[in-house]
A and B are shown apart, each in its own frame.
Chain A
Amino acid sequence: MSAKDNKDSPYIAFHQSVKFTFDGVKYKGFKGDTIASALIRNNIKIIGRSFKYHRPRGIYTCGIEEPNALVQILSEYSEPNTRATVKQIYEGLKIESQNRWPSLENDLSSVNNLLSPLFSAGFYNKTFMKPRGFWKKVYEPLIRKAAGLGKPPKPFKTKSTQLHHHVDIVIVGGGLSGLLAAKSLAKTKLKVLLIEQDSYLGGILKNSNKISTIESKDRASWIKDVETEIEYSKNIKVLKNTLATTYNYINYLIAIEDLTTGMMPLEGHADQILHKIRADHIILANGHIERLISFRNNDLPGIMLAGSFEKYIQRYGVIPNISPVIFSNNSSSFSLIKILIDLNCKPQAYVDSRSGDKIESSLLDIIHKENIPLFTNAHVEGCDGKKQVEEISIRDSEGIITKLKSKMLCISGGFNPDVHLFTQSKGVLTWDDKYLTFKPSKSFQNTIVIGSAGGLFQYSKLANDIDSKLSFLNHEPIVNINFELNESDNYSIEKLWETKHEKKSRWSKSFIDLQNDVTTKDLRQGIREGFDRIEHLKRFTTNSMGTDQGKISSINALGIVSEILNKKVSEVGTTIYRPPYAPLSFASIAGRSTYNFYDPERKTSIHEWHKKNGAVFENVGQWKRPWYFQSYLEENLDQAVQREALQIRKYAGVLDGSTLGKIEIKGSDALEFMNLMYTNNFSKMKPMSARYALMLGEDGMIMDDGIISKINDNHFIATTTTGGAAKVLSHMEEFSQTEWPHLNVFMNSITEQFCTFNISGPKTRLIMEKVFKHIKFDNESFPFMTFNNFTYLDSTIRILRASFTGELGYEIYVRPSIALKLWEDLFRFGKDEGLIAYGTETMHLLRAEKGYIIVGQDTDGSVTPQDMDLEWMIGKSKKDFIGKRSLTRSDTIRSDRKQLVGIKPINQKNIIEEGQHIILSSNVKPPVKMLGHVTSSYMSPNLGHSFGMAVIKDGKNLIGSRAYVSSSSRDAYEVEIMKSVFIDDENKRLVS
């Protein structure tokens, strides 16, 4: 007995055949088929192997809830764990089964099934402990090798995009309830988004035979009419092939649209859209999910949920088996029986756990009429078969077992409202004693749940349900709607979570979680061991932790646990569903903000010049800064830096300092504000002069530094470190707005309004005089730490006499539009004087030679100005500034804190490495007492040896003594501790 096509289905293009391969064998399906429906058409039963026991598994459902039929897509990017029940086939699609070796038919790991009595819950935690060394070398590698289902995907760059929506209403689910809601909102002014996961609207109308006619129309025409009406209304947008996955706070819904349903996704194209939706109200009309019943071997291929079986017939036009046995504890299988009879595929038997008097008479009538073997008050005790169902054992009320030879068993354990999204929204559930399921009760957001998603299983009450819940929107009432049904309007169900095993074998298994191979026995054991709350038990047994998140079985687990504990289900607890509803690809979450668009690159106005002139760049925050300039192609960092550093102390060099933060501070209280923000006292500073300044946090630790230029008491310009620019500005804004709003002061970032060039070296004055012929640069006209505005190319520029390097130097602030011209001018006139461009590494070296600190390198958030020997920068006469009070706490006034010193190796061949530690002896056998660490170190061409700066405990007092410094080669070298200024202690060069 095998599968058969049902050509009545309007959703499958039977005239368009599609070829695909599964495990290397070619098959044929039709356009519109999912992998599952196509494989069913080809009578393929075994699709994969289970996670733990490697038992053969088939297709259990017909949708997103599928726990078993997961496959690897070999074409495209080798997507693992793809639901065969969702993914549509296309010409040339290559599919492979998962978690088996060497083949699906003969999987060697199925030996696990023989050992299964041992693989009880908590197995891993109770064993693999002896012999002691075996865990790391033997057991762990074995366990880890067995991990996972599918193989990792291949790299595949897509242009998956994201779309934002701001709407009044979102309707999740384009089934019967969703369509009715949409229809009733079609005439309103509300902006509505309707989301449907399938390629077609209709839900239960499309997937089943339950409703024969609606408003006197056949199902397909009714759907078509409503869809036309919605389209015509223009206030409703419909998204098909779109699955709502995540319901966040403030009605923020994430939905994923598949743009390549039934098509091959191509690299470099958009294959998905992640919709980010904010809605005033979210209407959940996402229906219900059928659940299983646990019995012996309820995982064998050939067992399928009854509703799914019906969906294959109606939606996919394939009858999985022309003569199944049906087993149910509820009234819902009537429509399936009816369609099977209509299609001339009479069920082999009908087994109902309910007693005859409780079964609907209409159902009994048709069964009797068609002479279908009927078992009432009966259970399927179990199934047997080697790789699929071959024999079904049915136990009647007297305990007599009847064995039926059959290859197909359809089961229905009842329905759960699909509350996944509702619980994500933090909504509260309540237990429904009639339908034996959880249903939404209280929502915490603007959530409306309608239809079966809300626990309503009666068509006759649907119109009223929707009308009453949507009335506040002034919708067009539905009032009434007539249905002709192929089932009872009174859905009834009897409690049955699990049937009793007849033969008690240590190998028999009733599964509760098919994907994770969790059995009802595991649940019992967990409870026995003390895991009596459902969330706790879930972690012990891994129940409902698979890719399906237990959609068809988590309520069953609750039911079983509540029976064992003899408690009400509501006392056992509800399962918390974590988002997303179904797995969501990383690429879709990342969207376009990756690859080239991961993080913007900030470049200075003369970036291209740097590139042309051999610059090697480094990332400093988002900025691209020249790290060093290659004078020839093979020149490496060390060579370039040695060359650059020598050249500047001898001639001149210019650094593109445009990345330094620049903030303009203005206002009648600017002076007072600056005095509060920085440690220095700016009061007595003359206008048009500048000062090196320190900024602290309230904890007294150095936060940033820079040069403050005072135009007058109401107007300052501050520079900041490249990385600290944004932080310093927001720090200033924060205090000016929140702490001292009475101060009249405003600040603005002007980092990108000016380029800054730092030129320094003994030849600098000569060059500057050539470039700016009208400006006097002698010491008298232009003293150290003063600045002025000048005109250059009809534009105002600012020149500040200051230096990073300890040499005579100037900083030129110039508009970006003429920056390159000026830069080139510097070289036009400076080249003959030996001017070179240099990068950050040389800048660091030159600064270190002078003992100038770099915030963030020589400081780390744990040093005060005193620690850095910068006490002279603290305006002692100032009553207050940020961080001042913290400098006098018991720990900050300790005299033996870590303090900045210089170090040089006694043996000049030794190279001091940054980040190494100052220690007391050459013994590096741990643990070694550390005095502090090397914050900066360089090979100095000007000194002829390696040197460094370090922060060490009681450093000031240790100056003149010797210590050792560790190295990456696990040696230690002797060093001399000295003051941290290595060149020109008297600053003669600076003011030359």
Chain B
Amino acid sequence: MLIINCPYCGPREQCEFTNGGEAHVARPSDPEKVSDKEWSEYVFFRSNPKGIYFERWVHSHGCKKWFNAVRDTSTDKVLKVYEIKDEKPSLADLENSNLTTPSGEPEVGSGNFTVRKI
């Protein structure tokens, strides 16, 4: 189980949290003005990168606060947590995720070439 460092409560087991999907997906400010396609992008389409991923969590069995995190989905390593009001962190400020083959995969077949790195 992952450990998530709640910005308000500190590190806790992941089962205390609920994942809220991709972060920084803005709701169209004037929904009536966007096309069906643009609206569907907001409702249904989320990035699904292998590697660096900006996501939302809520400490649902804790302080109930929402916050953002940067996690490497190829290793599950959480690189940063930050408050909703904070700016999206620049990748340059993050610690390198030091990725090779975390699932013990052979070099070919790991899919790791696709990893979005810093």
A427 to B36, CA, bound (A): 47
| B10 interface residue (CB < 8 Å to A) | no
The stretch among A44-52, A216-224, A248-256 that forms the contact with chain B is A248-256
Q: A880-B31, A885-B31 are contacts. A699–B43 as well, Cβ < 8 Å?
A: yes
Q: Are B1 and A886 in contact (CB under 8 A)?
A: no
Closest Cβ–Cβ distance, residue A423 to chain B (whole Å): 6
- With A248-B1, A733-B58, A738-B66 as known contacts, state yes or no: A890 contacts B101, CB within 8 Å: no
B18 proximity list for chain A (CB < 8 A): 730
CA distance A278 to B2 in the complex (A): 11
Report yes or no: B39 in contact with A428, Cβ–Cβ below 8 A.
Answer: no
A741 x B1 contact (CB < 8 A): no
Residues A886 and B65 in contact in the complex (CB < 8 Å), given A428-B101, A741-B84, A741-B85: no
A573 within 8 A of B: yes
Residue of A with least CB distance to B43: A698
Q: Are A423 and B104 in contact, with the CB atoms below 8 A?
A: yes
Min CB distance A535 to B, Å, is: 10
State the interface size on chain B (CB cutoff 8 A).
33
- Asked whether, in the complex, the Cβ of A733 is within 8 Å of the Cβ of B43, the reply is no
Contact across chains for A426 and B103 when beta carbons are under 8 A apart: yes
Produce 1/0 per residue, A418-455, CB < 8 A to B.
00000100111000000000000010100000000000
B36 touches A889 (CB 8 A): yes
With A250-B2, A576-B104, A698-B42 as given contacts, are A885 and B32 in contact (CB-CB < 8 Å)?
yes
Residue of A nearest to B40 (CB): A889
> Using Cβ atoms and an 8 Å threshold, which residues of chain A touch B28?
885
Tell me the minimal C-beta distance from A665 to chain B in angstroms: 15
Determine how close the nearest CB of chain A comes to the CB of B105; give it in whole angstroms.
Answer: 9
Closest B residue by C-beta to A278? B3
> What total count of A-B pairs have CB within 8 Å?
65
The docked-state distance in angstroms from the alpha carbon of A573 to that of B101 is 14
Within A391-433, the residues touching B (CB, 8 Å) are 423, 426-428
Roughly how many angstroms separate A738 CA and B18 CA in the complex, as a whole number? 14
With most chain B CB atoms within 10 A of its CB, the pick from A573, A574, A738, A880 is A738
| B60 close to chain A: CB less than 8 A | yes
The answer to the question of A739 belonging to the interface, with a C-beta cut-off of 8 Å to chain B, is yes
Asked whether B76 lies within 8 Å of A249 as measured between CB atoms, the reply is yes
Residue of A250, A426, A739 most packed against chain B (CB within 10 A): A250
Contact A737 B1 (CB under 8 A): no
- B1-31 Cβ-contact flags toward A at 8 Å (1 or 0): 1110000000000000010100000011011
The residues of A that contact B85 with a CB separation of less than 8 Å are 741
Nearest A residue (CB) for B38: A885
Partner of A886, one of B39, B56, B100: B39
Q: Which residues of A contact B27 (CB under 8 A)?
A: 739
Chain B 69-87 interface 0/1 with A at a Cβ cutoff of 8 Å (1 = within):
0000001100000001100
A76 touches B (CB below 8 Å): no
Contact B1 A250 (CB under 8 A): yes
| Chain A contact patch, size range | 20 to 34
* Cross-chain contact A730 with B58 (CB below 8 angstroms): yes
With A250-B2, A739-B27, A741-B85 given, is the CB distance from A730 to B60 under 8 Å? yes
With A734-B58, A886-B43, A889-B39 known to touch, is A428 a contact of B31 (CB < 8 Å)? no
- The answer for the CA separation of A252 and B14 in the assembled complex, in Å, is 12
Closest B residue to A733 by CB, please name it: B64
Q: Does A354 contact B (CB under 8 A)?
A: no
Q: Is A879 an interface residue (CB 8 A)?
A: yes
Whether B3 contacts A250 by the Cβ 8 Å rule is yes
Chain B contacts for A574, CB-based, 8 A: 104
Name the distance in Å between A446's Cβ and chain B's nearest Cβ.
13
B54 to chain A, nearest CB (A): 13
A738 touches B106 (CB 8 A): no
> CA separation between A444 and B43, bound complex, in Å?
37
* CB contact list, A242-265 vs B, under 8 A: 248-250, 252
A698 to B45, CA, bound (A): 13
Chain A residue with Cβ nearest B36:
A889
A724-763 near B? 1/0 per residue, CB < 8 Å? 0000001001100111010000000000000000000000
A250 to B102 CA separation, bound complex (whole angstroms): 12
State how many angstroms separate the Cβ of B115 from the closest Cβ of chain A: 14
Q: With an 8 A cutoff between CB atoms, is B34 at the interface? A: yes
List the A side residues contacting B40 at CB < 8 Å.
Answer: 889
Q: Is A898 an interface residue (CB 8 A)?
A: no
Q: Collect the chain B residues with CB atoms within 8 Å of residue A183's CB.
A: none
Judging by beta carbons under 8 Å apart, are A737 and B84 in contact?
yes
Any B CB within 8 A of the CB of A379:
no
Q: Can you pick out 29 interface pairs between chain A and chain B where the beta carbons lie within 8 Å of each other? A: A248-B1, A249-B1, A250-B1, A250-B3, A423-B104, A426-B104, A428-B100, A428-B101, A442-B100, A574-B104, A698-B42, A699-B44, A730-B18, A730-B60, A733-B58, A733-B66, A737-B66, A737-B84, A738-B20, A741-B84, A879-B32, A880-B31, A884-B32, A885-B28, A885-B32, A885-B39, A889-B36, A889-B39, A889-B40
Report the 7 A-B pairs with minimum CB-CB distance, sorted nearest first: A885-B31, A737-B66, A698-B43, A885-B39, A738-B66, A889-B36, A444-B102
